[in-house]
Structure 1
Amino acid sequence: MPHDVVAHVPARRRPTAWRRTIGALLRREREVQGLRLTDVAVRARLSPQYLSEVERGLKEPSSEVLAALTEALGLTLVDLAQGIVDALGVPAARDRGGRPVLALTSSPDGWGRSGAVAVPSVPTGGPVLRAA
């Protein structure tokens, strides 16, 4: 190759805040429970190497992997989602009764344009799940 031609080398992608946050939350929970990486990997039916990459924010886990990991740690996906909201400093939305609302939507404004409903997740006034 001539010396004046520069080969294009793609820049290494930096982990997104989403991946880093998920990984950090999963690692923190694992460590709080005193579990080894291999303990959780076996419970979730993943390789320890893959779990390590998820915890370091290098891999973006699928919804199935996240479900397996949260179950292996005794968490729910809602627990993980709330941890992400808290870690990223997103202000908690509240319904008219003052209960926290977790928005699950793909709309740019975070609430959806049509069909959004607020449904109490527990009848005792717990968090509300709002989906578009």
Structure 2
Amino acid sequence: MTIRATNQPRARVIPLCPLPAPAGPVPAREPLWRDLVGDVLRGERQSQGRTLKDVADAARISMPYLSEVERGRKEASSEVLAAAAQALGLSLADLLALARGELIRLSAARSRSLGHPGRPAGPGAGPTGTVQLAA
């Protein structure tokens, strides 16, 4: 079979340009649960003056994995969170309550930065007084 060259023009590729940056301040992103839990774990560990190795050994999880959980790089299972909390002398409920408090604090600050100063936050916020998480 013989392929013949045609005189049709070749398609031209036009590179996409990045969108212009939005005017004004960029709103803070919604806090992620894994970041909140990691911050609470790290804060609790540091307040106790304990090392990553000490807590990881007590929780029977690897030190690199605990480090990644604390930095919000890994979405830990409930079993891992319970083990890390217990190694710090907390229950899983304590850990999640502390993370919830941090979520409320950050959400209130985010609402204020977005121009919603009158929006309720904290216990009693909204009609049911609960914080709802959406996936």
- Return 5+ residue gaps in structure 1 as ranges: 5-15, 95-100, 109-132
2:77 alignment partner in structure 1: 62
Higher-Rg structure is 2
**Percent sequence identity over aligned pairs:** 48
Greater strand content: 1
Q: Which runs of 5+ in 2 are unaligned?
A: 1-12, 14-30, 105-120
**1:85 alignment partner, one of 100, 104, 110:** 100
Alignment of 1:1-132 (within 5 A): 17-89=32-104, 91-93=122-124
Q: TM-score, structure 1 length as denominator? A: 0.58
Q: Which amino acid aligns with 1:60?
A: E
Sort the Cα spacing of 1:102 and 1:80 in 2 relative to 1 into closer, same or farther, 3 A.
farther
* 1:100-126 superposed Cα distances (whole Å, 9 cap, x missing partner): x888x88x7xxxxxxxxxxxxxxxxxx
Runs (4+) of structure 1 exceeding 3 A deviation are none
Aligned pairs, how many? 90
Give the conservation status (yes or no) of the 8 Å contact 1:30–1:36: yes
Counterpart code for 1:83? L
